[in-house]
Chains A and B, each alone.
Chain A
Amino acid sequence: MLPLEVGGFDERIPIYRQIIDRFSQSLVRGTLVPGDRIPSIRELAIDLKVNANTIQRAYQEMERDAMIYSRRGTGYFIMNDNELPNRVKGAMVRETTSRFLQEMYALGFSGEDILTEVERQMRGKESEHDTADHQGA
């Protein structure tokens, strides 16, 4: 079972980056944990129907970022670093927020507008959560 989202790449953005993102997402969600074995370059190429060179580039970058490591003869693994998921989460939050802010500013919203709306929605989601918890209990 591939612990990654399959298909549906945005072909306007470099594919190798999207692959790294998907690994990040899996780490954050917990579907991949430090020490897990990940597919070989060829296996992933076949599963995603993506050029193996692209996969290789993604793996090289992830190795450079100490997200994964390779053991010759055995394959590739998520780095045995318990801090990794948090690190990745932190980077993801920063990046997603940065992108969000860029979009919002581009649409012409002010910082105040953004904060107000964010707080409003967060309160709404929290009450949804509470309702769900009560129903569960």
Chain B
Amino acid sequence: MIAFTDIVGMDLAKQALMLLAVDSELGGVVIPSAVGSGKSTLARAFADILPEGTPFVELPLNVTEDRLIGGVDLEATLASGVRVVQHGVLSKADGGVLYVDSLSLLDSSAVSHIMDAISRGEVLVEREGLSEVHPAKFMLVGTYDPTDGEVRMGLLDRIGIIVPFTANNDYRARKKIVSTVLGERDLEDTRDELKMLSGIIQAAKEQLHHVSITKEQMQALVQTALSLGVEGNRADIFTVRAALASAALAQRTDVEEEDMKLAIKLVLIPRATRMPEREQESEEMPPQEEPPPEEEQEAEDEEAPADTPDADAEEEQEEEPDMLEELMMDAIETELPDNILNISLASKKKAKSGSRGEALNNKRGRFVRAQPGEMRSGKVALIPTLISAAPWQETRKNDKKMAGRPKTALIITKDDVKIKRFRDKSGTLFIFMVDASGSMALNRMRQAKGAVASLLQNAYVHRDQVALISFRGKQAQVLLPPSQSVDRAKRELDVLPTGGGTPLASALFLGWETAKQARTKGITQIMFVMITDGRGNMGLQAAYDPNAEKASKELIEQEIESLSLSIQADGIAAIVIDTQMNYLSRGEAPKLAQKLGGRYFYLPNAKADQIVEAALSF
């Protein structure tokens, strides 16, 4: 067992956990990190710095609904003849920590239940004749590897601290990690260090009630949230809490700049949806200059009814905090990595789509729950059936109508029968890959958008999902991750840059990756819908190395060839749609279709519906 203090590196994650230990109302800490960085070791070591006896419950990934929420305890019920309630995992974590390793792989219904428990602080058990409320106020500590996929935004939003993702490359630190694992540390030292740390946290908890934050500081934090485009109000509340906890850890009574910086780093930056802009000079300018048009309208709607009472509040706000805001902007800028939106968890591009693609059914998929039903309509869930029959045995045996049956047999009636419900993603994932290079790009983009929209209209019925990858310049980019939301597609595809080279290989690679990720989540049928003339002129290398030499034609062709083969081997269907006038074409698009084992469609000036038709016909 490696203790909290033994873990080297991951300083920010450690700081985050300490803040949480000081103020459990922060809700939790999420640590995204690469494999082998010690994130789960650290999370488990978190128990070291919590008061003794604090529950620490690890959530198994394959948890079923009744284990999560609670239900009837079969063994005890059968033994006692009285229904015995079994608390679920969520309620067992009450007052302590719920730890989830590989948070991004958690089943979406489990995620929903966790979200619900967090927002209520308790679990409502309305199951199998039970109607109970179990307290379930816990801190959620989650770790995951971002390459496994993303965590649902709704869940992340309810967790106060999200540690910014960093790959741990420090050679010396690594060496130390290794030596720690090998057990070179002195146990005595460890014990002392832990003791000291626990003392600091205990003192900070007491100090927390004496720390205050000024209105100006709050305004600066909220302003920062606004300029980073953070959604909702939870983040504001969490930031203030984090700043207070940070000050408490330092045994101060006032929040200082460093506390605010830390809070911004751990709470706001990971939720940023856009880069902040320095537009503070002109005071008339509202801070929300750049949001997409949709939001702008909403902003106006919002402001219209509620202007008068806040007039003085706004004036007041303009005087003092300018200085502070400047300061915060500095803080953000120095803290910000080069490309915030690419690493930020809250970035729209990476947000995971909803769970609507899942269908409950009686035949296949993952077993989720048992439900009353006809015996012939599916697989009988034996144990749940027995549970529901168990309490009736006495009554039934005394029933005259049941007379003549051997006393030893269980009497099971039709109403006891429970059948198994499985969760399965039965729909198809359509991955659109749109060539956004060259002069016809705008046209292709419009067609693709139309087709995406049209497919999504019926997505509910078919449980299909749609993703969109655009490729231009040096590399392809996922514009819309697998999703079923019309609203989302509309927003994500609002502004689409076009022009530049044609990194076809990069698109194929990214599509393949997206497909593989979808497979791990249970989507088996995948189709590439490629809207391109098939003429790639960028090598894969260029996508990752800006200084890469221009790839030769042969190399590009080779890359496309081998990627196509792998894609085909993975059982991914593909169609290639060429929407351009073909007097310039040298037949690359049909060739691409052939390599992918798919079909080629030539649809000049295609309407969205034609594209959909082509996709569905295959």
Are these two chains actual partners, yes or no? no
